[in-house]
Amino acid sequence: MESVQAIKQRFEIIGNDPKLNRAIEKAIQVAPTDISVLVTGESGVGKESIPKIIHSLSHRKHGKYIAVNCGAIPEGTIDSELFGHEKGSFTGATGTREGYFEVADGGTIFLDEVGELPLTTQVRLLRVLENGEFIKVGSSQVQKTNVRIVAATNVNMFDAIEKGKFRKDLYYRLSTVDIMLPPLRERKEDIHLLFRKFASDFAHKYKMPPIKLDDNAVQYLTKYRWSGNIRQLRNAAEQISVLETNRDITLATLQSYLPAEGSTLPSVIGTKKAESDFSSEREILYKILFDMKSDLNDLKKLTLELMQSGNVKNVQETNKHLIQRIYGQKEESEVPFEEPALTAIPVQNENLQEEFDDEDDDQNYLFAETVEEEDSLRLDAKEIELIKKALERNKGKRKAAADELGISERTLYRKIKQFDL
């Protein structure tokens, strides 16, 4: 059995962090067996190295090793990619195709981003893990395969299971052995070693002297969060190596290549908040509808009072407030609001007039019914009359007329266009 140090040299793994060493030890120990392995860790920590170690130390090392990025394959074709398909099984299937599980028979398949697999594909994968059987798309014939499955994900699998996005039985079949790689921010002693290694590699690649960090830059480098982990560190080393003519890198120079923590980096939004977005929007819509209903009821009540009593003064302030609420205008206006003289609208039907004179209760009921039937016509007519008077008094000046009406100039322009004034 090879040592951890020998494996690091063989696969060019840099670092002496205890958690990293433990992950490599587990890979070495599990390699001679055929049990499934799940590699977990954040994006960019180097999870792809573990399945290579396992395959190279197993009895399958002479078989094929296939790495599949499950998140990069469209949902409609992933079953065909993994398990193959028969000719004519779907549009575009012009011939029979072997899937990865058939091609890698006797070898190892690395399923990267396994948490992105559709639920239907998860069912097929579970069958392969349980008894090594699969069925091609469009076929009814059961085929056998003998593959070692190593999976990796940066998704919190327990959250995915709880949300119904990943099958619990599949998770436990995949994670017979769970190997977790630590994020770079937990390997502070390794950060400068990795940076120096990358700087040396890029100096050789681009045929230029390697860059060197001063003491302050080294301290900042090790304390930085590195949300993108090793991938982000490598990119930073490459940028600096290519762009900087001065090969001695100061703290200010290093900071210019790294996003300021907590400011320019994208913020992470909690899942609970995201799940409640739909509920919040629905509550807002309900509130708007209730407010609109209240406004209409107030308008009907106001119109009823005017028609019954003809007393404009008692409802003048209410009318002004309602107009401002409907058009979303501010509460106060520089130009005093002048209420037009309104009179009660007589009932045209003589029979109804007699009933109004006889019984007050019947009058209220029948009158309210009449208002509902002619609501829109009367409101439009009053709107047109108010707008015309305001424009005449202000000699066609829209801003002054809008201020007098207690609405915005934009709303007045829309009304003028709507009523073709």
Contacts of 332 (CB under 8 A, 6+ apart): none
End-to-end CA distance of the chain: 92
If phi > 0 it is left, if psi is from -120 to 50 it is alpha, else beta; for residue 112 that is beta
Least confident segment among 18-27, 86-95, 160-169, 311-320: 311-320
The answer to whether 405 and 412 are in contact (CB under 8 A) is: yes
pTM score above 0.85: no
* Phi/psi of residue 109, nearest 5 degrees: -115, 130
Helix (H, G, I), strand (E, B) or coil at 290: helix
At 223 the pLDDT is 94
pLDDT level of residue 321 (50, 70, 90 thresholds): low
The dihedral built from the CA positions of residue 81, 87, 89 and 91, taken in this order, carries a sign that is positive
For 267, phi then psi, to 5°, come to: -85, 150
In which element (H, E) is residue 235 found? helix 229-243
Only one residue has tokens 């070693």, namely 193
Residue 242 CA, distance from chain mean position: 35
Report the percent of the chain where pLDDT is more than 70.
76
Q: In which element (H, E) is residue 239 found?
A: helix 229-243
Domains and CATH numbers, the chain: 4-182 (3.40.50.300), 185-256 (1.10.8.60), 289-419 (no CATH)
Instruction: Please report where in the chains the tokens 């003028």 appear, as a residue.
Output: 416
Contact 271, 159 (CB under 8 A): yes
Backbone angles phi, psi at 222, to 5 degrees: -75, -25
- Contact between 152 and 160 under an 8 Å Cβ cutoff? The reply is no
pLDDT of residue 418 exceeding 70: yes
Mean pLDDT across 166-184: 96
- Alpha helix locations (H) across 84-187? 100-103, 119-131, 157-162, 168-174
Spatial separation of the C-alpha atoms in residues 220 and 218, rounded to whole Å? 5
126: Cβ contacts below 8 Å, ≥ 6 apart: 167, 169, 170, 173
pLDDT, tens digit, 9 for 90 and up, residues 104-136: 999 999 999 999 999 999 999 999 999 999 999
Alpha-carbon distance of 305 to 314, in angstroms, equals: 9
Cα separation, 402 vs 19, in Å, equals 71
Most confident of 245-259, 333-347, 382-396, 405-419: 245-259
Quick one: average pLDDT of 165-174? 95
Dihedral of the CA atoms 33, 38, 41, 42 (nearest 10)?
130
Could you report the per-residue pLDDT of 276-305, keeping only the tens digit for each? Answer: 455 556 667 766 777 777 778 777 777 777
Long-range contacts, stretch 75-81, CB < 8 angstroms, 24+ apart: 75/118, 78/117, 78/118, 78/121, 79/120, 79/121, 79/124, 79/137, 80/137
pLDDT of residue 98: 94
Q: 183-204 pLDDT, tens per residue?
A: 999 999 999 999 999 999 999 9
Q: Where is 149: in which H helix or E strand? A: strand 148-153
Mean pLDDT of the chain: 82
Max CA pair span of the chain? 109
Is residue 353's pLDDT more than 50? Answer: no
346: tokens are 């007589």
37-40/65-69 β-pairing? unpaired
For the cut 50, the answer to whether the pLDDT of residue 367 exceeds it is no
229: left (phi over 0), alpha (psi -120 to 50) or beta: left
